[in-house]
Amino acid sequence: MRSDQQHVRASALVVFTSLALAGCAGSAPELHPSKPEVTISGTTIDKVKTALVAEMAKRKFRVGKETQLEMPFEQPASGNALQGLSAGDAKGNPIERITYTLAPQGSDIRIVADIAVIRKLAAMERPIDITQGPEAQSVQAILDKIASEVGTPKPTKREN
């Protein structure tokens, strides 16, 4: 290989590496807040479910179709839940649905909440995830309250 070709290749490698490194530095992963969640020790799934039903009833939510480890609660969507949605997504009679997923982890129970606005379209539902919206703080407060009532809250490791 001639010296000219080696110089061009070396220069190209330096430029490519510089651009790649600049791209990495400029596109650091965004930190997104995680879903509302809590881990509780010293309780049972039944106690957690009972506390969730009582707390959500105070807030005018009704229990949806639950499974052993999932509890959805629904109510007509509030203005707070609709905040940030397009006019098309907010029209009609949307429903706010908060689904709590209970995950036994050894002697602990981890509860994670998903928050969505549901638009019913004919026989189908169209969920719009609002877990990162303004409702997340009140849902986190519900989880924290329940954790302190039915067991011992454990520090939650936030995944980014």
- The tens digit of pLDDT for each residue in 1-18 reads 555 555 445 444 443 444
Q: Looking at residues 40-55, what average pLDDT do you find?
A: 96
Q: Looking at residues 92-120, what average pLDDT do you find?
A: 94
Which residues sit opposite 130 in a β-bridge? none
Q: Looking at residues 53-58, what average pLDDT do you find?
A: 97
The yes-or-no verdict on residue 116 having pLDDT over 50 is yes
Greater pLDDT, 123 or 60: 60
What is the C-alpha to C-alpha distance for residues 41 and 153, in angstroms, rounded to an integer?
A: 6
Measured CA to CA in angstroms, residue 116 lies from 64, 141, 150 at distances of 13, 17, 26
The confidence score (pLDDT) of residue 157 equals: 60
Please tell me whether residue 41 adopts helix, strand or coil conformation.
strand
Give the chain's mean pLDDT. Answer: 81
